[in-house]
A and B are shown apart, each in its own frame.
Chain A
Amino acid sequence: MPAGTLYRGREGMWSWVAHRVTGVLIFFFLFVHVLDTALVRVSPEAYDDVVATYKTPIVALLEYGLVAAILFHALNGLRIIAVDFWAKGPRLQKQMLWTVVGIWIVLMVGALYPVLGHAVRDVFGS
C-alpha cells in the first residue's frame, strides 16, 4: 500500500521531532550510565575496567553527540516552558527556536576542544 506523504510541518513540528529524538538518546545514555556506575557496587576494579574501555576516539565522538543532544534538549526545553507559560511565548516561538539554535551552535563550537581535543591527539599523535 503506497504510504501517504510526510506531513510538511514547519519549525515547530521539526523542533518537536528533534526534542523527542534527543530525549530518547539521552534516555539510552542514562540507561548505560546507571549500569556502568552500578558496577562500583560489584567491585571498584570492574568499574575501572569498564570505564577504561571508553577511552577511545569513537567514544569521544559519542560523547560529543551526547553534549549535542543534551544542549539541544535543555535549551529547547526552556523554549517550550516559555511557549506554555509566557504570554508572548506562542507568538515568538520561531524567534526563540532560532535563538536556541544559535546558542547551541556557539556552545557546540566551545565544546569541540574540551571534548574532542584528547581524541584528536590520540589519533594524529601529539
Chain B
Amino acid sequence: MATPTLDKTDKAEAGFADSPFITATFRIRRFNPEVSDEVQWQDFQIEIDPKERVLDALHKIKWELDGTLTFRRSCAHGICGSDAMRINGKNRLACKTLIKDINPDKPITVEAIKGLTVLKDLVVDMDPFFQAYHDVMPFLITKGNEPTRERLQSAEDRERFDDTTKCILCAACTSSCPVFWNDGQYFGPAAIVNAHRFIFDSRDEGGEQRLEILNDRDGVWRCRTTFNCTDACPRGIEVTKAIQEVKRALITRRF
C-alpha cells in the first residue's frame, strides 16, 4: 500500500478522470426538536470513494458540510453496535455497509431505525430496547454453592447456543420487526436472542424463569415469522430460528 503522500501525487498525475471518487447523493431524514417539530429530508452531495462505507460518508458530511448532523457511532468497526440505521429502506450498520454495494447512482436514503422514538436526526431512544433486554435476565443464574473450579462445558454443549452469543445489541433486528413497530411492548427479537443464549446454556439453571417471562402475551408468541430480523442482523444470527427454538422449548419443556 502506498503512503498517503505518494497517493496524493499519484492522483494529481492521473488527473480527475482516473479518480476513484464518485459523486453520491445522501438523502438524510433530519429531525431537530429544538428547531422544529417537522421532519424533513435533506440531500447532501459529496465526492467519495465507493469502496468507503456509509459511515465515512456521514463523517464527511458532519465534518465538512453540516456539523449539526447527529448520529451514534463508537468503534466504527461493527462490534459496538452503535450505528444501526435504515439505509435504502433496510436496517444495517453504517460502518459495515460499503457505498458500492448499495447502488450510489441513485440517492442513498439514510434514516433512523423504526419503532423507537427519534431524539435527533439518526439518534433514537434506546431505553425501551435495553429494558426488554434486562427483563429476560441476560446473566448466569445458578443454584446451590459456588463450585471451587470453573464450570466446565463440552464443545457440543457450547455449540448449542453459539449463534446467539454473537449479538452486539445494535437493535437492527428489533427495529426491523413489524410487530415491534406496531406495539413497543413486544420483547422483540434481540431480547429473545439473548434469552436463548442462556436458556440453551448447559451451565445455566434459570431457563424455566426465562421461558415463563417469554410465555407472556408480549413474549415469543407475538413473533409472526416475517424474517426481517434474520435479514437485518449484521452478525448473521439466524434470529427467527432462535425465536422458533424458544417457542418449541416452551411447548416441549426440553432445552
| A and B are partners in one complex rather than unrelated chains | yes
Q: Which of A4-44 contact B (CB under 8 A)?
A: 4-13, 16
Q: A16 to B226, Cβ gap below 8 A?
A: yes
| Residues in A neighbouring B176, C-beta threshold 8 A | 7, 9
By size class, the interface of chain A is 20 to 34
| Residues in A neighbouring B241, C-beta threshold 8 A | 90-91
Question: Which among B114, B224, B238, B240 is the interface contact of A7 at CB below 8 angstroms?
Answer: B114
Taking the complex as formed, is B96 at the interface, i.e. its CB lies under 8 A from any CB of chain A? no
Taking the complex as formed, is A114 at the interface, i.e. its CB lies under 8 A from any CB of chain B? no
| Residues in A neighbouring B248, C-beta threshold 8 A | 84-85
Please report the C-alpha to C-alpha distance between residue A12 and residue B241 in the assembled complex, in whole angstroms.
13
> Which residues on A are within 8 Å of B, measured CB to CB?
1-2, 4-13, 16, 80, 83-85, 89-91, 93
Q: A12 to B228, Cβ gap below 8 A?
A: yes
> Which residues on B are within 8 Å of A, measured CB to CB?
29, 38-41, 86, 88-90, 109, 111, 114, 176, 178, 224-228, 230-231, 238, 240-241, 244, 247-248
Please report the C-alpha to C-alpha distance between residue A4 and residue B175 in the assembled complex, in whole angstroms.
14
Residues A4 and B38 in contact in the complex (CB < 8 Å), given A12-B227, A13-B228, A80-B225: no
Q: B244 to A5, Cβ gap below 8 A?
A: no
| Residues in A neighbouring B109, C-beta threshold 8 A | 5
Q: A1 to B39, Cβ gap below 8 A?
A: yes
* Apart from A84-B225, A90-B238, 14 more pairs, CB < 8 Å: A1-B38, A2-B40, A5-B86, A5-B109, A5-B111, A7-B90, A8-B88, A10-B227, A11-B227, A12-B228, A13-B228, A80-B225, A90-B225, A90-B244
